[in-house]
Amino acid sequence: MNLRKLMIELDISDIQEILRIDMDEDPEQALKFIKEVLAKQVKTSLQPH
Protein backbone atom coordinates (compact mmCIF):
# COMPACT_ATOMS: atom_id res chain seq x y z
CA MET A 1 0.00 0.00 0.00
CA ASN A 2 1.43 3.36 -1.03
CA LEU A 3 0.88 5.93 1.69
CA ARG A 4 0.34 9.53 0.72
CA LYS A 5 -1.19 12.69 2.06
CA LEU A 6 -5.01 12.59 1.95
CA MET A 7 -7.97 14.84 2.41
CA ILE A 8 -11.15 13.14 3.54
CA GLU A 9 -14.61 14.61 3.67
CA LEU A 10 -16.72 14.16 6.79
CA ASP A 11 -20.50 14.20 6.83
CA ILE A 12 -22.29 16.40 9.34
CA SER A 13 -23.18 13.26 11.30
CA ASP A 14 -19.48 12.29 11.45
CA ILE A 15 -18.57 15.74 12.76
CA GLN A 16 -21.32 15.54 15.37
CA GLU A 17 -20.03 12.13 16.45
CA ILE A 18 -16.46 13.45 16.80
CA LEU A 19 -17.68 16.34 18.96
CA ARG A 20 -19.83 13.99 21.06
CA ILE A 21 -16.89 11.64 21.62
CA ASP A 22 -14.72 14.60 22.60
CA MET A 23 -17.27 15.90 25.09
CA ASP A 24 -17.94 12.47 26.59
CA GLU A 25 -14.27 11.46 26.56
CA ASP A 26 -15.40 7.98 25.50
CA PRO A 27 -12.34 5.98 24.37
CA GLU A 28 -14.38 2.95 23.25
CA GLN A 29 -16.60 5.04 20.98
CA ALA A 30 -13.54 6.91 19.69
CA LEU A 31 -11.84 3.66 18.69
CA LYS A 32 -15.04 2.37 17.11
CA PHE A 33 -15.39 5.60 15.08
CA ILE A 34 -11.78 5.40 13.92
CA LYS A 35 -12.18 1.80 12.81
CA GLU A 36 -15.64 2.07 11.23
CA VAL A 37 -15.48 5.53 9.68
CA LEU A 38 -12.01 7.04 9.40
CA ALA A 39 -10.00 3.89 8.61
CA LYS A 40 -12.60 2.85 6.03
CA GLN A 41 -12.37 6.24 4.28
CA VAL A 42 -8.56 6.21 4.36
CA LYS A 43 -8.38 2.70 2.89
CA THR A 44 -10.84 3.64 0.15
CA SER A 45 -8.89 6.80 -0.69
CA LEU A 46 -5.63 4.87 -0.95
CA GLN A 47 -6.99 2.32 -3.41
CA PRO A 48 -5.64 2.71 -6.95
CA HIS A 49 -8.22 4.16 -9.31
Q: Tell me the pTM.
A: 0.78
CA dihedral (44, 7, 23, 17) positive or negative:
negative
Mark out the alpha helices in 1-49 (DSSP H runs): 12-24, 27-33, 39-46
pLDDT per position as a tens digit, 5-42: 999 999 999 999 999 999 998 899 999 999 999 999 99
pLDDT at 49: 73
Identify the band that residue 2 occupies on the pLDDT scale cut at 50, 70 and 90. Answer: confident
The ranges assigned to domains in the chain are 12-46
For the cut 90, the answer to whether the pLDDT of residue 48 exceeds it is no
